[in-house]
Structures are given as C-alpha cells and as structure tokens.
Amino acid sequence: METKTVKDIAFLARMRVADDQLEALAGELSGIIGWVEQLAEVDTEGVEPMTSVVEMTLPRRDDAVTDGRCREAVLANAPDRTEDFYTVPKVVE
C-alpha cells in the first residue's frame, strides 16, 4: 500500500499520522487487507451463522403489551396532568 493511500485513509478517518509513521502504517494496513482477502477464500458453504461461540438457546419471554406497571412514576414527570393523563397546551387552533 502506498503512503499517499495511507494519508488519504487517515484523513477520512480524521486521524493525524506523522510522516515518519506512514511507512509502518502502510505495512500494517497491507497485512490486514491480506488477512481479510485470505478469509474470503474460506469455504463457508453449509455453515450456519452463529450468535455465540457457545451453543445455547436464548431465553424468551411472552410478547405481551403492558402499561409497564409504573403509571404513577411516569405521571409524576408530567408538568400538568388531569386524572391519569398528561395535559398539554393546545397547539392547533
């Protein structure tokens, strides 16, 4: 990788890189890109996607609509309320 390309990447990433570090960074970036290209060669046909390295079933809960059971705590934040509702100023005539 050329040092000009490294400078451009650093600019896009909003990173300040000293000129004496460009050559070393170019080598590191070339190594990273080579490793990613190597990963692209791996045959993943028939391999199931994983969510974790450990086989497990995520716990599930019932998908039930509730009011959160904290009505008073929520309404305590209201600057003005009428019974169990927020009262807001009228904005449309």
The answer to pTM > 0.75 is no
Whole-number pLDDT of residue 37: 94
CA distance 75 to 81: 7
> Residue 63 above 80 pLDDT?
yes
In this structure, is residue 18 part of a structural domain?
A: yes
> Residue 33 above 90 pLDDT?
yes
In this structure, is residue 59 part of a structural domain?
A: no
In this structure, is residue 88 part of a structural domain?
A: no
In this structure, is residue 30 part of a structural domain?
A: yes
In this structure, is residue 26 part of a structural domain?
A: yes
Average pLDDT on 15-29 reads 93
CA distance 51 to 49: 7
Count up the domains in the chain and report the number.
1
Chain segment 40-59, per-residue pLDDT in tens: 899 989 988 887 888 888 88
Structural domain including 17 reads: 3-40
Average pLDDT on 15-21 reads 93
